Structure 1
């Protein structure tokens, strides 16, 4: 007889037995029990159009460009001993990093002492289980700053050590900080913000979280920009993204999972893999196995499970209900609650989430009367913009039109 499994989600302590999958699924208060949004008027339908910049090579450079300087780092939330930070960037930023291969990008216009700047919140990707707030497309931040936005990039607690409920609560709680504390934090640099003019941008898994803000927030953002994010968590086939990764054939054993996780100190910041050695670390092996085995929805909702012998294992296929998956699928949610305008960008050759995520969600938004736009980038794979440079082809052809479209909804 195989060992019995116990979920490590915060719904149950890791040492307790996992719920019987044959029983009726209990409602998840962090997902299904969030209060509905305040009523607000629908905006007019926008014409759908797929922008197709001509790019034979969608990546401008094979190394990450110099970062923009952070104006301030603040803690927006504390849970026990865990402090969750965010970085704030104000207009006028330019990279101060000396790098002959990647010279600093040009400065953005300085803030006006009389202007109240709109705010862009960025939610990083990383498969819901990795990366951090410094993992962003440089031209994306530069363009928002150029238009006069104050940019905020947040960390959040990562799966599987933190439940999806906890991760979503971080995304929910940052709203209150942005609307009440950001202005106070920027008083010493004499930058004024209009926190009622908020847009949200996310990349990959962060785009999925961004697309949940209409449900999670008390007041939805003015617009959302989704960079290659999934919208239908029922449809996540493995597209062989990790085929060339040296760790893709390594087994995901109990020892690997134990080495990959730190339940005693739930992480909010995992470094971005930079070398071949990084890509065979236990956490990367865990991530690859989740995607390769088609267990993304199960991993998000259940986390890892602990067997009776105390060892960890990936969740079983099909261990979550349709209702649970619907509750975290923007494609389903947009038929139930009002959504703000949404602009989606995805590579036409995305090897993590297929392009049906963009097309189906775009059509569903238009059917609800929500302004929507989509842009498919020819030949581009997942996270094609990660090495993009300011004033490069991706900046001009992809970032500029996307940011301009979103900025319309805060009056820019």
Structure 2
């Protein structure tokens, strides 16, 4: 059964979380949705995946956060931090989760945000990244995307019609057009951070997980399709190799022939097998 609660109240924006409580003392999964920081919402966590996690004994909390370009990455990170803190304090009082056994699970940019949290003082006990990325300063985001440039080219004026000028924490699919513009022109980093990729590189490195890894990083499971047209498979491969260099417990599951959002094909045997491995990983690292 789902309960929705506001975890952060602002003057012009309320930010919510959906809670799927499995009882006192249960380990917690905080899910961070996809959408390139620009679109999407907490409701994007598919019902099949919610059932899969909860049937395995995990309480699940799917969170919203403010979206770009109206809100920039530094503030979005504050929302994620506040959500984690809320789970560990207020939500724990209501539901009595075992917040000492908490994982962050994220898809695409949610994987990026999950991995970024692993570099901070509020890090979880485990991280699962589905087709996420650990390097926002790589050329893959700085150059126009060959895949997205096959679609009608948008300029900034066209794209700006699909976003607003006030904070929002739930983004309709039409906001994808702003992401399309960003990828067609290689300006995603500039648009979502408000910083210049070249001139502000040192400041941007704070938000680049691959540059901030240490041996204290949480155990991390990476899943990625090797035919991903949005986030290159190499993003998970590079993160996997770097984590190993630092002695971090990590595993990479490659979904052969799979594109982005492969987990939407939940009944596919390879996806079912991958999710069984997610549960195994979480049970190992979220145990007392």
- Report the TM-score when normalising by structure 1: 0.65
- The answer as to 2:90 corresponding to 1:181 is yes
Q: Verify the 8 A CA contact 2:33 2:106 in the aligned structure 1.
A: yes
Contact 2:27 2:102 in 1 (8 A): yes
In structure 1, distance between residues paired with 2:106 and 2:210: 16
Q: Tell me, what secondary structure is at the counterpart of 2:112?
A: helix
The separation in 2 between residues aligned to 1:181 and 1:119, in whole angstroms, is 14
Q: Residue 268 of structure 1 aligns with which residue?
A: 169
Instruction: Tell me which structure has the larger Cα radius of gyration.
Output: 1
- Is 1:410 aligned to residue 280 of structure 2? no
Secondary structure at the residue paired with 2:262?
coil
Q: Give the superposition deviation at 1:285.
A: 2.4
Cα distance between partner residues in 1 of 2:41 and 2:169: 7
Preserved contact between residue 297 and residue 325 of structure 1 (Cα < 8 Å): no
Gaps of 5+ in 2: none
Higher fraction of helix:
2
d(CA) in 1 for partners of 2:249, 2:55: 24
1:225-271 deviation per Cα after TM superposition (whole angstroms, max 9, x unaligned): 00000111122255544466xxx3143242541x22221x3110013
Q: CA deviation at 1:178?
A: 0.5
Alpha-carbon distance in structure 2 between the residues aligned to 1:253 and 1:358: 30
Residue aligning to 1:43:
none
Give the 5 Å matches for 1:80-95.
80-91=11-22
The equivalences for 1:238-249 within 5 A come to 238-242=144-148, 248-249=151-152
1:396 alignment partner in structure 2: 272
Residue 386 of structure 1: CA displacement? 2.2
Please tell me whether the aligned partners of residues 119 and 213 of structure 2 are also in contact (alpha carbons under 8 angstroms). Answer: no
Aligned to 1:128: 37
Offset of residue 322 of structure 1: 2.4
Contact 1:239 1:353 in 2 (8 A): no
How far apart, CA to CA, are the structure 2 residues paired with 1:166 and 1:256? 22
Supply the distance in 1 between the matched residues of 2:125 and 2:31 (Cα, whole angstroms): 14
Relative distance call for 1:184 and 1:382 in structure 2 (3 A) is same
Residue number in structure 2 paired with 1:360: 238
Q: Does 1:71 align with 2:2?
A: yes
Give the distance between the partners of 1:184 and 1:138, measured in 2 at CA. Answer: 26
Cα RMSD between the aligned structures? 2.1
Matched, 1:142 2:51: yes
3-state SS of paired residue (1:398):
helix
| Conserved? CA contact 1:214–1:339, under 8 Å | yes
Cα shift at 1:320:
4.3
Tell me which of 193, 199, 203 is aligned to 2:107: 203
Give the aligned partner of residue 330 of structure 1. Answer: 209
User: Contact between 1:256 and 1:286, CA under 8 Å: does it hold in 2?
Assistant: yes
The answer to whether the 8 A contact 1:120-1:151 is kept is yes
Q: CA deviation at 1:387?
A: 4.1
**1:55 aligns to what?**
none
Q: Distance in 1 between matches of 2:282 and 2:271?
A: 15
Out of 258, 281, 286, the position equivalent to 2:178 is 286
Contact kept, 8 Å, 1:348 with 1:381, in 2: the verdict is yes
Shift of 1:368: 1.1
Deviation of 1:333 (Å): 1.0
Distance 1:242 1:116, change over 3 A: same
Q: Matched residue of 1:327: which SS?
A: helix
Q: Distance in 1 between matches of 2:254 and 2:122?
A: 29
The number of equivalent residue pairs is 285
- How far has the Cα of 1:215 moved from its partner? 3.4
Q: Aligned residue for 1:229? A: 132
- Deviating more after overlay: 200-209 vs 135-144: 135-144
In 2, the alpha carbon distance for the partners of 1:261 and 1:197 equals 37
Note the alpha carbon deviations across 1:270-295, whole angstroms, 9 max, x for none. 13x3xxxxxxx4x3322101012222
